Amino acid sequence: MVSATPKDVKKGYFYALGRRKSATARVRVQKGKGNIVVNGKPATEYLAESKTLLAELQKPFVTLELPVSDYDVSAVVSGGGHAGQVDAIRLGIAKALTELNGDYRGTLKRADLLSRDPREKERKKFGLKGARKQRQFTKR
């Protein structure tokens, strides 16, 4: 069993960086009461319009069968929209949990929670209306 180093225990939290599209999340996970805070607001307030995005934040804990109520998550996220930000935070939480305990790595990797989604927005090309959309063809 690989566990936390003494300097990590002294800090009291585990830090990780998560990215998705143009969103970047700096995540801290520590023992606590189950509070998830995003940019200084509770996650329920920050993501009020979507229950699925709130469930996505808890996926690493659910996969590891850890009670969410035992950990506090604090995330500072910038760039992108809500969906990209949630995916970035989820990746950050998963990475921070592997810092907490190295045994979690295999389970999270099998659940595909430790890999960054590499898809980015494709650039607009010259002479086209978008990345791929072309002008309407006229025969005559």
Query: What pLDDT digit, counting tens, does each position of 4-60 carry?
Result: 555 555 678 999 999 999 999 999 999 999 999 999 999 999 998 889 999 999 999
CA dihedral of 95, 30, 67, 117, whole degrees rounded to 10: -20
User: Domain 6-110 maps to which CATH number in 1.10.8.60, 3.30.230.10, 3.40.190.10, 3.30.200.20?
Assistant: 3.30.230.10
Query: What pLDDT digit, counting tens, does each position of 101-117 carry?
Result: 999 999 999 999 999 99
List the domain boundaries for the chain: 6-110
Query: What pLDDT digit, counting tens, does each position of 62-109 carry?
Result: 999 999 999 999 999 999 999 999 999 999 999 999 999 999 999 999
Question: What per-residue confidence (pLDDT) applies to 5?
Answer: 55
Residue type at position 31: K
Question: What per-residue confidence (pLDDT) applies to 3?
Answer: 54
* Angle, vertex CA 26, rays to CA 16 and CA 114, nearest 5: 45
Query: What pLDDT digit, counting tens, does each position of 121-132 carry?
Result: 999 999 999 999
